[in-house]
Amino acid sequence: MSKKFSAQHFINRELGQLEFNRRVLAQAEDARIPLLERLKYLCIVSNNLDEFFEIRVASLKEQINLAGVPLGPDGMDAPLTLKRVREQAHQLIAHQYDILNTAILPALDVQGIRFLRRTRWNDAQRAWVREFFFNEVMPVLTPIGLDPSHPFPRVLNKSLNFAVELQGKDAFGRNSAKAIVQAPRVLPRTIPLPPEISGCEHGFVFLSSILHAHVGELFSGMTVLSCHQFRVTRNSNLFVDDEEVKNLRTSLQGELPHRHFGDAVRLEITDNCSPQVADYLLQQFELGVEDLYRVDGPVNLVRLMDIPDQVARDDLKFAPYSAGITTTLQKKGADMFKLLRKGDVLLHHPFQSFQPVISFIQQAASDPQVVAIKQTVYRTGVDSALMEALIAAVQGGKEVTVVVELMARFDEEANINWASKLEEVGAHVVYGVVGHKTHAKMIMVVRREDGKLRRYAHLGTGNYHPRTARLYTDFGLFTCQPEICADVNEVFGQLTSLGKAGTLRHLWQSPFSLHSQILRAIHNETKLAQAGKKAHIIAKMNALLEPAIIAALYEASRAGVKIDLIIRGVCALRPGVAGLSENIRVRSVIGRFLEHTRIFYFRNNLAHDTYLSSADWMDRNFFRRIEVCFPLLDKKLKKRVLDEGLKIYLRDNVQAWEMAVNGRYRRKTPRRAALVCAQTTLLQQLAN
């Protein structure tokens, strides 16, 4: 933290993340959004909170156990942060379930989409559920009675479980008062009923309701006194000792299974669970009462995410669209290399198709003139046409090098599997640099043309993941400009070889130059403003946390630089502070697509320097990751990025939220101005 600024000038990271989830939750309340999409937003909040507890809350607890961890820039220590987090998380989750029960479920019911409550089943429904239980559920259940020879079982992270209180003796004369029933993950959590049984077009029953109704069948001759669903969230941080690790993949494979059984950090139970059962579960998981979250409904709303896919009601979903193809790529089977020799190509996903990226690798794999392909992989998914194309390239005799990031959180297993498949066919697979995640998004193709080798590159702000490319906003640039490609080649050399980092002509790179170059660009705008010239910075990213960058932005604001920040998630900077940040405006855009693009614009005395990057402005991205930031050298493409990536978002008054000095956000509510929705406008302009 800069000595010029005190803790009050910085906002806490964890509280900022909860504030972001409030904005997402507001989407579930927005009557302008199609009903089934509102249900999805409700589920997204649950998914976000799961990861928040698994990673951020778990880290806070680790810091408390270690003691002596230095304060963050906001001046809050781990115990105080955890206290505030618990308070706000309880409020947020209570509001979430209130929306579910008072808004979403009643509205779905009106539309003939019903979740049938156990207490209201009629005879036909009761009979159907009973048959389903005996045929589909009971055969895969393993109830566990708790006694000296059957201790409390290991409960998987985020799995659905039931605590059962019993009375009576079992077949062996044991008088066990408690049992645990674990719901196998192979079972769906919501079961559709035939319309003639449910009495509506789309009727569903929760698996928890089915188990509640028939749990007595699992304990023959005993009386079930109570049955309560619960779910425990565990620490999912993976620990691999950078100094001791000899084989990263082997070490990671050994660590992954433990993720399901890390220390408990949160216990969720239904609100009607008895205090005795709640206390018993807290004791088993070594949690305090402040870690207990009582909910009015299913303990895992994430499992409702697939309901829209099971319901054929297009009128309750976002209107379908077809991602656009740029004019230069519209011709089927267009020669990517010929096109790129004519000029750079920019793609804006998901408004424009991700298919050209896949076609680029597929063409390279089959082109006899291509001699080598190199690519970084951070997240790519279990099924990936890109990875299959790389495998085909190896089998076709190409030199293929893939830098696989094994420590991509929650994608470790998929990446290990792809690394194994690539190695099996003879690709060169490296895992980057231990201690620095490879987060850069780069592809390089080397092709022999007229007796010489020419490089082609793709650089992006998002992952090489076809599915998320339909859900996240990102830019991707194809180029064969020699200096850019030489820089890309240099970065690949650092990742696969040994030696000192070379000087890059155009790319800014973490952990070497990105931080200093961003600071230099901010300081340059400050100097221009001090000289009486117009100065302007626009930056769009997922998170802004790094103290030195924030301090530089404060100094720029004091000098008169106009600063517009479009931060989807956490922002530790306080805008609008008198004498400090009056010239800084912070906004967040939450819409149909997840805003993921990183764009950095500096007016620079009308040079209009514009960069795209894989990196947010966070400590980890600057100092503990391999990242790249690349300029738009083509004036037409630079204008596109400014128009499509920044200006339209600064005009958005439908999905935009403005940040106040206290860190809270207020939704833009236009009164007289025409409605401007950035994502809708881009769909109209770029999609088919």
- Residue positions annotated with a catalytic role: 439
Burial 129-154 (b: 16+ CB within 10 A, else e): beebbeeebeeebeebbbeeeeeeee
122-126, 428-432, 551-555: segment of lowest average pLDDT = 428-432
Domain 327-504 fold is Endonuclease; Chain A (3.30.870)
- Angle subtended at Cα 641 by Cα 637 and Cα 645, rounded to the nearest 5 degrees: 160
Domain 327-504 and domain 509-686, same fold? Reply is yes
> What was the pLDDT predicted at 332?
61
Q: 541 falls in which pLDDT band (50, 70, 90)?
A: very high
Residue 3 has pLDDT above 90, yes or no: no
Instruction: Return the structure tokens found at 529.
Output: 């403003």
3-state secondary structure 591-654: CCCEECCCEEEECCCCCCEEEEECCCECHHHHHCEEEEEEECCCHHHHHHHHHHHHHHHHHCCC
CA distance 568 to 594: 8
- CA separation (Å) from 56 to 12, 51, 63, 85? 12, 8, 11, 10
Summarised one tens digit per residue, pLDDT across range 263-308 is: 999 999 999 999 999 999 999 999 999 999 999 999 999 999 999 9
Q: 175 or 66, which is more confident?
A: 66
Whole-number mean pLDDT of the chain?
91
Question: So where are the chain's domains?
Answer: 7-316, 327-504, 509-686
Is domain 509-686 given the CATH code 3.30.70.2190 in the classification?
A: no
Question: What's the pTM value of the predicted model, to 2 decimals?
Answer: 0.92
Summarised one tens digit per residue, pLDDT across range 199-224 is: 999 999 999 999 999 999 999 888 99
Calculate what percentage of the chain has a pLDDT beyond 90: 78
184-198, 352-366, 395-409, 641-655: segment of lowest average pLDDT = 395-409
> What was the pLDDT predicted at 2?
47
Residue 241 has pLDDT above 50, yes or no: no
Nearest in space to 508 (alpha carbons), one of 459, 542, 547? 459
Residue 478 has pLDDT above 60, yes or no: yes
* Average pLDDT for 9-21: 96
Contacts of 109 (CB under 8 A, 6+ apart): none
Question: Domain 7-316 in CATH: superfamily?
Answer: Polyphosphate kinase middle domain (3.30.1840.10)
